Structure 1
């Protein structure tokens, strides 16, 4: 089937048509605005919108017709069109984190019975989801309310009237809208996929797992590089041409003693059941960290401990505070698996992504949180909160609030910065430390948790026998016995990271390169250039895999990529692929995606926009807005 529909971001050439179509529909057709002598409608929010456009081929040689457009206002705009009609007290959803406003879904009359409207709805949903959006708000015409509800949108009990039209304020969780599109409206999405030339800088499908045939409800991680190698393990030779900088696995091999333990008698290791309670591993952790053994519990990686512990401690009535950005597993487990109410503690780019201890203390002071999660050093932000500052915050925190401190990368700032000894005595504090990333054991999966003895004992009670396999137990014990090797590797990682950052910065000075304190860095592309997803896709064509951070947080605005530190040779390949990708993606001036500049206010007072799609339009697949 030919791709006769085209979805893309608007260009400067589209703006006159957008403003003229708005006037035809909202002033002439629907009577929301008084006609403007210019024949065009604009408003102050235009300066912060992103317009998505659908065009459709026809039989003439004049090129595709512009069929319609939709507008998305991201949270970085600082205001929404709804702010003109309702206060934040009347509509508190606007103060939530990651809220995107969808408005101005507008289709040319002769395209209203085509797939243009569903494609615009789906494109808006994908654009928001790919940038870490968590909630959609919109205004929909009251007479079309059943159509909006069919998409998964829900009313909030607020009605706005403008001109001849009445509107309902609508909202929905982005993840729930995506599930509705993939489920109830799957047939329509499949039709759109078959007919659409998708020119947005994000994948058409909502989740890598969906494209790979795996579980779309799973947490999205890095690791697309392994898909390129082959998850059936039949072509492992491909690993030699892949640069896996999308996951934070160690660039260095395990210590010599670890390799020796794994190769001495692999047949015996494979067929032999390990110590059921990982007693030797627990003893080695206690000795290496100077901790009482009864304060420890082990697991097959930190994710095992996260699921096991939080699944026991939290319920759907629990309230949780996460930093934003934060390692994605925590939002997945608390929001999607358990169903907790989750609030975000925003980290700010302008503050260097650091945790402000005074602001954090004020946020938790009322005692309304059952759990606060801190990843320290933070992944993906890359900053470390000094132990002394966190000890002060914890000392003043309410007694009923439990704190989960994830120290997966603590070795890069020094093990003396760990709060493990505090966790061993304070019943409110738990520390989780992975042995996977720091000790080059990601393929074996080993981690431990530190808590006061009663808490640790209860978690061990809910731990099945043989929680860590024999190869992992042997490797972890050997690794903990060779601190000198790993300390040298961690120091070398800092040098490699600094060199990689300098080389990347030299490629394009308009790109912001930010080093972390650990084994990765981030690059943030300028707002007027290609997005993170396009950069990642272009580098993959050269077998270099990077991580688009957009789904993790709306604070990245679809422009930030995380790059894991590799060895000298692979870092050079990263720089070369990155430079080639940027040169390939620099668009011609007429094709640069734009956020329109602010325009003069219309002569008529602004009014909410409406959904002009006719009743004969195909069933919506995602969002329909006014």
Structure 2
């Protein structure tokens, strides 16, 4: 295959070829379906499926079909009930179907490339599991790529299939480990037109922060920061308090060369005073991620079971699933419910007694929704004694201190509250955070904290910030006003957009079905030096259509709105596989 090899989402012209190839293979060659005079074999899910196509020049090589969980139905529903195949309901998988290659290309890398492309497309939409039907005579091949039979056999025409499943992360890792050389070659040869990067991130965790790449991670071109709108991370739009700037400017050479208090004693004392908490209930870290890794690494093992909300801040899934290897379940949050955490559903899940840890981000990132403290207190009070609760209050300042569960955490050994000073206090670059736990738990974590966990500049800044609550309260109120104006300006761009404002220093914009994906809009905005966050990899509940935008100052918000408008204007509707089946044309089964 040469450099003219292309991998793309199917366009309307591709669909006629797909129907014709499907007839040649599954009707004429394999006998799964009866031949039809029209020489075309369509699919009952053609209006909802996504097709990825490999082509070389004008010649189409092969395709693979994907059915996302938000469609609400699968091809497998024709053969098995949801009771017979519970994973369709419980795991909300993406169905991978009808991986088909033209005969002359079957001994090339076309099929592996299409399967890899399917995995990357699914991962970019937050998919965690795939389900497929594989011909029984090819079962060894399916096992080799990491798929496992679930114990269900399906018959269709002359063919027999096994129902197969696999985790997206595991399948991707297996592909990149076993076929690294082939993938590296294909990356250089393929015109990759999907709205997801060819290769996954090395650490497997999807963060924001692409804006710093545009500035220059080698720090040689920091002047670029003046033209970049970094709305893909949730850093504060305002500067730190005057006292913070004064503390950092007084003697920066001394602050840089001097070792800080080894246990951050002064910072701990200041937090205790500001939050009216006993100092022995506190532990500090270089940002909340430091505390998450340190605490979870102490408490959890691969045998542990964890409950996360879905969507949820991606660091938690990364640490529990990929770093520690825990068994992770998810409590789905629903768009139709305003993304709120339903206390009854949360309580029912927690009361099962299965969980070693339940994580609640409140206000939630990325939904921005806040669960009232009284509701969470009731749920926790009724939960089993064995279950620990981790409450992330990084954005609680936008709601108010009375909604904090820090007081509960200081006395209840089941509860830990983690609070970042980065976002609320404009200290993201300095990295400072703390957690609150009953004294024995806090002491254990302090024992496992290395000396000098927070740098001297960060300690100086954090102490000064905590001493100026009036400044930050004013900035938080101003953030809410800026957010409201930004939401109104974005909503006026197109009535088909859904703008969700919530309570924190960001908002979410969902694009209409059938239009450009969130990834396409984010990429287009970058052409204007405006960086936004595609939320798709965090959860399939965003359906690849939701963009998160951090609130910036008035001038930068104006640039965000202009860039978003330019992106919408510049993007023609993406490939839309909405070809409805004409009367009298046969519908194919679910072969893969």
Q: Quick one: structure 1 residues 451 and 570, their matched pair in 2 at CA, closer, same or farther if it must change by over 3 Å?
A: same
The C-alpha deviation readout for 1:228-270, integer Å capped at 9, x for no partner, is 1111111111111111110000000000000111110111111
Question: SS state of the match for residue 47, structure 1?
Answer: coil
Partner of 1:130: 124
The aligned counterpart of 1:110 is 104
The answer to whether the 8 A contact 2:42-2:586 is kept is no
Deviation of 1:452 (Å) = 1.1
CA separation in 2, counterparts of 1:147 and 1:238?
50
Which residue of the partner structure matches residue 455 of structure 2? 469
Shift of 1:40: 2.5
Which residue number in structure 2 is paired with residue 26 of structure 1?
Answer: 26
Contact conserved, 1:372 with 1:402, CA < 8 A, in 2?
A: yes
Distance in 1, matches of 2:483 and 2:198, equals 33
Residue 158 of structure 1 aligns to a residue in which SS?
strand
Q: Select which of 158, 167, 170 maps to 2:152.
A: 158
* Correspondence for 1:382 among 331, 345, 368: 368
Q: Corresponding residue for 2:577?
A: 594
Q: Residue 496 of structure 2 contacts residue 511 of structure 2 at CA under 8 Å; is this kept in 1?
A: yes
Alpha-carbon distance in 1 for matches of 2:311, 2:348: 19
Return the TM-score normalized by structure 2. 0.96
Cα pair distance change 1:367/1:596, threshold 3 Å = farther
Quick one: distance in 2 between partners of 1:120 and 1:593?
19
Larger CA deviation: 532-541 vs 372-381: 532-541
For the residues of structure 2 that align with 1:199 and 1:272, how far apart are their CA atoms?
51
Counterpart check, 1:16 vs 2:13: no
Q: Distance in 1 between matches of 2:12 and 2:185?
A: 29
* Residue of structure 2 equivalent to 1:40: 40
Q: Secondary structure at the match of 1:353?
A: coil
Which residue of the other structure, out of 254, 270, 278, is the alignment partner of 1:284? Answer: 270
The structure 2 residue matched to 1:529, chosen from 515, 518, 525, is 515
Q: Provide the alpha-carbon RMSD of the alignment.
A: 1.8
Aligned to 2:185: 191
Greater RCO, 1 or 2 (C-alpha within 8 Å, sep 6+): 1
Query: How far has the Cα of 1:217 moved from its partner?
Result: 2.0
Which segment is superposed worse, 348-357 or 94-103?
94-103
Q: Secondary structure at the match of 2:268?
A: helix
**Which residue matches 1:140?**
134
SS at match of 2:435: strand
- Give the counterpart of 2:173 among 176, 179, 184: 179
Higher mean Cα deviation, 338-347 or 496-505?
Answer: 496-505
Superimposed CA distance per residue, residues 22-77 of structure 1 (whole angstroms, 9 cap, x where no aligned partner): 122111110112223443323433332111122222xxxxxx02222211011101
Q: Give the equivalent residue in structure 1 for 2:208.
A: 222
Query: How far 1:200 sits from its partner (Å)?
Result: 1.9
Quickly say closer, same or farther: Cα 1:445–1:125, change in 2 above 3 A: same
* Offset at residue 166 of structure 1 (A): 2.3
- Structure 1 spans left out of the alignment, 5+ residues: 58-63, 208-215, 610-625
* Correspondence for 1:340: 326
**Once the 2 structures are TM-superposed, how far is the Cα of residue 598 of structure 1 from its aligned partner?**
6.0
Task: State the secondary structure of the residue aligned to 1:183.
Answer: helix
Whether the 8 Å contact between 1:198 and 1:204 is mirrored in structure 2 is: yes
For these two proteins, the number of residue pairs brought into alignment is 592
Q: Distance in 1 between matches of 2:247 and 2:555?
A: 28
The Cα of 1:218 is off from its aligned counterpart by: 4.8
Deviation at 1:227, TM superposition (A): 1.1
Q: Relative to structure 2, which stretch is displaced further, 305-314 or 360-369? A: 360-369
What's the secondary structure of 2:47's corresponding residue? helix
Distance 1:297 1:363, change over 3 A: same
Alpha carbons 2:116, 2:172 under 8 Å: kept: no
Confirm or deny: 8 A CA contact 1:97 1:344 kept in the other structure. no
In structure 2, distance between residues paired with 1:34 and 1:219: 46
TM-score by length of 1: 0.91
Change (3 A) 1:597 1:376: farther
Is contact 2:48-2:577 (8 Å) kept? no
Equivalent runs, 1:203-242 vs 2, <5 Å: 203-207=197-201, 216-242=202-228
